[in-house]
Chain A
Amino acid sequence: SQTIHQWPATLVQPVGSPLSLECTVEGTSNPNLYWYRQAAGRGLQLLFYSVGIGQISSEVPQNLSASRPQDRQFILSSKKLLLSDSGFYLCAWAPGRGEQYFGPGTRLTVT
């Protein structure tokens, strides 16, 4: 069966510090991968979308970036965090064009 992992689970970072969140999927190959952000009490905002290694689509212009160095690895990064980057970051995978399965998420607080 397929599983999706995210780490860290929680993170507290000062403004201006760098960020690296990692997501890995097991039990499948060539999945579509997604990064979402959810502000407190809000809906899900799609940040990045990838259909393959090195193929990244950015949905929201901001100070975040994403990379997919391996088929089942998706990384979200920032060089300098802003207060507005705080939120619940969710990675998801999909077997092509279909239902999406979410990882446990990373709760990021920028202070």
Chain B
Amino acid sequence: QQPVQSPQAVILREGEDAVINCSSSKALYSVHWYRQKHGEAPVFLMILLKGGEQKGHDKISASFNEKKQQSSLYLTASQLSYSGTYFCGTEGAGGTSYGKLTFGQGTILTVHP
């Protein structure tokens, strides 16, 4: 089943913060985050494995709550280059889900000067 992302869209001014959420109804092994610019392929941002970890680099970080099957992506002090559509991809904990991702519907992030 497809994970649910929220919000569907968010508009920011440069320097503002944003949080994008990803929620699944099934037990997860991992959550992946990608950013896609218009007309381009998705670009990998980070992966979080079960165990309730948090990761980050530069001003983008993410958390994974294994018990709630939820992940959040945090973008701080947003830059114009952060604009794009953000997708979470989830890998189920079951053996049949090995290596296979189910993607959310995406969150459109727009950063204005």
Contacts and interface: CB of A to CB of B under 8 A. Distances in A.
Interface of A: 32, 42-46, 49, 51, 57, 59, 90, 94, 96-105
B103 interface: yes
B102 A100 contact: no
Interface stretch (B13-21, B42-50, B58-66, B67-75): B42-50
Contact of B41 (A46, A59, A102): A102
Interface string B92-113: 0000001111111110000000
Contact of B42 (A44, A45, A49): A44
Contacts of A99: 32, 44, 47
B6 interface: no
Interface of B: 2, 30, 32, 40-44, 47, 87, 89, 91, 98-106
B89 to A, nearest CB: 8
A100 B44 contact: yes
Contact of B87 (A43, A96, A97, A101): A43
Nearest to A102: B41
Contacts of A94: 99
14 contacts: A42-B105, A43-B87, A43-B104, A43-B106, A44-B42, A44-B87, A44-B89, A46-B101, A46-B102, A90-B41, A98-B47, A100-B89, A104-B40, A104-B41
A46 B47 CA distance: 18
Contact of B98 (A44, A45, A97): A97
B99 A51 contact: yes
